Amino acid sequence: MSNARLSSLVPLLAIFGSVTCLGVGTSWAKHVLFPLVGAEGTTAVRVGFSALLLCLLWRPWRWRLAAADARALVAYGAALGAMNLTFYLALRTIPFGVAVAIEFAGPLTVALLASRQPLDFAWVVLAVAGLGLLLPLGQVVGALDPLGVLYALAAAVFWAMYILFGKRVGHLHAGHSVALGLTVAALVVVPVGMMQAGAALCSPLVLGVGLGVAAISSALPISLEMVALKRLPPQAFGIMISMEPAVAALLALMLLDEQLSALQWLAIGLIVTASAGSALTAQRPQPAAAVAVG
């Protein structure tokens, strides 16, 4: 294979590696940590260790921070923490792939509101159709847990807020904003996890698995996404990252034995298509720092 051909595959492999690591880490967290410390405790150790790892990696104290940027980072980090917490609360009662698909309504809405092209109507229709198949709007046998769906929708709202606040700190170095943003997120979720799980958070097993989950589902995906972002325009990156709900559903099937119905697979496919289509036709925004979630 030629060097040019190999170079062209690097962004795709980086994004595929990112969503795979994210899915594996989240599945591992749900399987091992949920029974020990619950969703709140899992969020606390995952976000807390992620902040620690990225602060050690990027050493954000090296950069000066203006007061306005500090205020924006607080909002950015708070949205990030709330997004992670509500997403993990959703995972208690609904399948991983379905939760990711619902959560994608957040960035999809932001992308569609930023674009004014007629074709965007088609992506809205696809997204609404996909969400309509997923949400328990009627008395359907095997319908999703309503509370889990509400938590996933809340995560979608916080993801949209995270993107909007992230644009305000997009001029900062990515390592700087991500490390400080995760630190604020940790300050939001760690107290919640401590109140729910208590001393169980300090057990060697929880700390060891939490560190592994943080590395696999945060530090490594973020690094891989940065590799891809340097080599791809925003639209192409958005199209490729849209595979995340489908990858999450496949990994949950293999690792957690979470079976989805044909309609749920169709719904995920519609949302993936809508996300990819909106990324393809969206106007080029000012890129913000990327953070792996879920």
Mean residue pLDDT across the chain: 86
pLDDT, tens only, 84-112? 999 999 999 999 999 999 998 998 888 77
Inform me whether the pLDDT recorded for 34 exceeds 90: yes
- Residue 22: predicted pLDDT: 92
Q: Look up the pTM and report it.
A: 0.88
Single-letter amino acid code for the residue at 280: L
pLDDT, tens only, 246-282? 999 999 999 999 989 888 899 999 998 988 888 777 6
- Residue 186: predicted pLDDT: 96
- Residue 139: predicted pLDDT: 41
Check if the beta carbon of residue 180 is closer than 8 Å to that of residue 73: yes
- Residue 287: predicted pLDDT: 45
- Residue 223: predicted pLDDT: 76
Pairwise pLDDT comparison (66 vs 229), residue with the higher score? 66
Percent of the chain with pLDDT over 70: 88
Cβ-based neighbours of 275, under 8 Å, separated by 6 or more? 104, 107, 108, 111, 123, 127, 238, 242
